[in-house]
Amino acid sequence: MISTPWAVVLAGGDGDRVSALTRNVDGGFVPKQFWSRDGRDPMVRWALARARRIAPAARVLVAVKEAHRGFWTEALADVPCANVLVQPENRGTAAGVLRAAVEIQSRGITTDPVVLLPSDHFVADEAVLHSALAAAVRAVERGVAPVVLLGMCPGEQRSGYGWILPASPAPFAGVRCFLEKPPEARVRDLVRDGALINSFILAARAHVLLALVGRVFPDILRAFQRLSRKLQGGPDAQDLYLGLPLMDLSRDVLQHATAYLSVLRVPPCGWTDLGTAERLRPFLGPVPASSRLAPAGAGAAA
């Protein structure tokens, strides 16, 4: 039976590494995901359009931070309030994923695939990425792999990324190991050995994500599940987040769960993570016409 995917846009980061560049006309800091160059759509809108190509708009969730309300209220004006998951604090990507997976679980649907999409990625050819996302969703639907990561072919920009070493050179393979931001000399060896850049874009079922996080943070998982719907603001959510450590999904969870992971090699699509000043600076000029996204609209996986 064909399922209906969910998509989660992770937009709760602080963007400290690029804060000198993401400024408004008055020189004030804007979190990178809500920053707009030349009055165009902010990055979060790129991710939202991406999400709505793979999942119906009603199943697109966006995880944000309360302190950024002044930015996301306008940027996410067309997202239903119940689908904007407000986190009292930024406690890392694992907390954002946990928040979203618990929300999906609270709606009684945990078996449909969930796609995770960071909010600070640029993609020149969205059609190529969409095809890869659809293939990852199908693999999860059919039980081919519990978690499917999208691995990007290395281009000219290779520094500062996490890497995935596939278990084989096949387009779809198991994961041998992760390497988090290795030195340049090691990167050359990784490229030679067929390693792929960890895009942090993945597909899995909600209950699988909860189980993997729970293997490492069982008490935190139980705390989120107890609060469930109360997480949408309020003192209970505030207390929970204040007591959380910083939790990175790749470093703290996925690196310890390689037996559950597969990686799908994405053909070149002009992908880049704009999380560093080095990678963001070339994007300060006008967007090339060939790279502009169409308006976000509801869609479903092919």
State the pLDDT at residue 62: 98
Regions of the chain short of the pLDDT cut 70 = 1-2, 156-157, 229-235, 285-302
If one counts every other C-beta atom within 10 angstroms of the C-beta of residue 281, the result is 12
| Cα distance between residue 218 and residue 91, in whole Å | 16
pLDDT, tens digit, 9 for 90 and up, residues 110-153: 789 999 999 999 999 999 999 999 999 999 999 999 999 999 99
- On whether the CB atoms of residues 141 and 113 are closer than 8 A, the answer is yes
pLDDT, tens digit, 9 for 90 and up, residues 89-101: 999 999 999 999 9
State the pLDDT at residue 302: 40
Q: What is the pTM of this model?
A: 0.90
State the pLDDT at residue 40: 80
State the pLDDT at residue 183: 84
Domain boundaries along the sequence of the chain: 6-288
Phi then psi dihedrals of residue 88, to 5 deg = -60, -35
Query: Which CATH code, of 3.20.20.140, 2.120.10.80, 3.40.50.720, 3.90.550.10, is assigned to 6-288?
Result: 3.90.550.10
